[in-house]
């Protein structure tokens, strides 16, 4: 029975990772070659995902079902962000573009970086699934990278023609987590 749960967990995680990988090539746009920061993020993600799968073979943690919940939530947020941005896809992380549009519908209404939220949920799911100290390396490293990438994107908005609109948006939508009080006030 334990093996079935491991396979189910690995399958759910692989579906998420495959969707994210598709997004890099099939959804996001770039103003040129893939930025170095994005190449490094992708390479590190692949290595950490392989490490997760190796740890998964060693055995599941006792709260493995929590990882299924996080993987499912991650995929749902990712899909909602894809749908919301399909007409105007954002650029890849670390791209040097100057923003010329602001997404503020779908999950963007609540968080400024729903793709990063999806990725953070995923990596925390991997840590919960394997329930080992080594499993927490991935969410810590990747969350730090996503905070760096999001901060860079926010600086691009702050120096663009969209600066005032983005400042208002930033006041009501959280970076990765919704701001309930701001949403109620805007309500």
Looking up residue 80, the CATH number of its domain turns out to be 1.20.120.1630
Please report whether residue 54 resides in a domain.
Answer: yes
Q: The tokens of 62 are what?
A: 């006792």
Please report whether residue 51 resides in a domain.
Answer: yes
Domain that holds residue 73: 2-28+46-186
Residue at token pair 């963007």: 108
Q: 165: how many CB neighbours lie within 10 A of its CB?
A: 13
Buried b (16+ CB within 10 A) or exposed e, 81-103: bbebbeeeebbbbbbebebeeeb
Which is nearest to 2 in space by CA: 71, 59, 53? Answer: 59
Please report whether residue 12 resides in a domain.
Answer: yes
pLDDT along the chain (187 residues), means of 10: 82 97 95 94 97 89 90 98 97 94 95 98 96 90 98 97 96 92 62
Which is nearest to 170 in space by CA: 99, 95, 85, 96? Answer: 99
| Ranges of H-type helices in the chain | 2-26, 36-58, 64-85, 114-130, 137-158, 163-172, 180-186
Domain count, the chain: 1
Please report whether residue 40 resides in a domain.
Answer: no
pLDDT score at 111: 97
Please report whether residue 60 resides in a domain.
Answer: yes
Q: What is the pTM of this model?
A: 0.94
Please report whether residue 139 resides in a domain.
Answer: yes
Please report whether residue 180 resides in a domain.
Answer: yes
Please report whether residue 58 resides in a domain.
Answer: yes
């Amino acid at each position: 029975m334990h093996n079935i749960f491991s396979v189910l967990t690995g399958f759910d995680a692989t579906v998420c990772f495959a969707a994210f990988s598709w997004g890099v090539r099939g959804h996001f746009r770039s103003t040129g070659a893939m930025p170095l920061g994005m190449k490094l993020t992708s390479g590190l993600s692949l290595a950490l995902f392989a490490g997760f799968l190796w740890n998964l073979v060693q055995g599941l943690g006792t709260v493995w079902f929590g990882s299924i919940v996080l993987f499912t939530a991650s995929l749902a947020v990712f899909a909602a962000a894809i749908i919301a941005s399909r007409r105007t896809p954002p650029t890849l992380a670390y791209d040097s573009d100057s923003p010329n549009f602001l997404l503020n519908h779908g999950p963007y209404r609540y968080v400024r970086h729903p793709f990063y939220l999806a990725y953070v949920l995923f990596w925390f799911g991997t840590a919960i699934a394997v329930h080992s100290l080594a499993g927490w390396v991935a969410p810590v490293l990747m969350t730090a990278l996503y905070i760096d990438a999001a901060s860079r994107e926010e600086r691009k908005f702050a120096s663009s023609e969209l600066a005032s609109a983005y400042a208002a948006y930033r006041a009501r939508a959280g970076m990765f987590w919704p701001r309930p009080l701001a949403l109620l006030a805007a309500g």
